[in-house]
Amino acid sequence: MKSKGLRQGAVWGSILILVGVLLLVETFTEVSAWMWIIVLVAGGLGALGFYLSDRADWAMLLTAYVLWAIALLIALVSLDILRNEAVAFYVLLVIALPFLAVFYRDRSQWWALIPAYVMLVVAVMIGLIGLGILDDLLVPAYILLAIALPFFGLYAWDRKQWWFLIPGGILALVGLSFLVAEAAIEYIGALVLILIGVVLLVRVFTRKEPGDEIGPSEPEV
């Protein structure tokens, strides 16, 4: 335990020193983004090396993953590959993957699916909004259906827990109502105009002018 703590302290101490040195250098001259990438990758390699020497030290593997994920983010942004919503999509995806790995390694750790699912749902939503696929009423529809889906999944996992269908069904119905409203809103304007036009035409052809009224005929002399 003591050696594990020493390894972790050595890795983080070295990383903090390197970052501090780069920050000091940056006060005098601009440090290239690739220099930051090199430092982060080197720190990740050091953490990975400590993990390989002790496979029980998962903190070192997670440290390597975080450092490399940040390095890759800086590289993709510097190369103008990631922009705007894509950056948020990448960050949320990177956060979700370790939780999926925890569940994959030990299926009894089902709790890890909750944060992973939330991160992935939000990441997909941001991506779809950025692509212009989700907008207006489709956004709340997506959110409600995404919340409803786990309830149906839990019911499928354990059919005895039928009460999962209640919140899942309510959320799904409300979400579907937003979908219907979004689909209908494209036609509402045209349908309203058609309806008004029909009413006007009906009034024109059924309305009687004052001179058209037929009164009682006068007797001929």
Q: pTM of the entire structure?
A: 0.67
**Packing angle, helices 33-53 and 58-78, rounded to 10:** 160
HEC profile of 51-63: HHHCCCCHHHHHH
Give Cα separations from 76 to 70, 73, 86, 90, 182 (angstroms). Answer: 10, 5, 10, 10, 36
Taking only the tens of pLDDT, the chain with its 221 residues reads 456 666 667 666 777 777 777 777 777 777 778 888 888 898 888 888 888 887 777 888 888 898 899 999 999 998 888 888 889 899 999 999 999 988 888 888 888 888 899 899 999 998 888 888 877 778 888 888 888 888 888 888 888 888 888 888 888 888 877 777 766 665 666 666 677 777 777 777 776 655 555 555 555 54
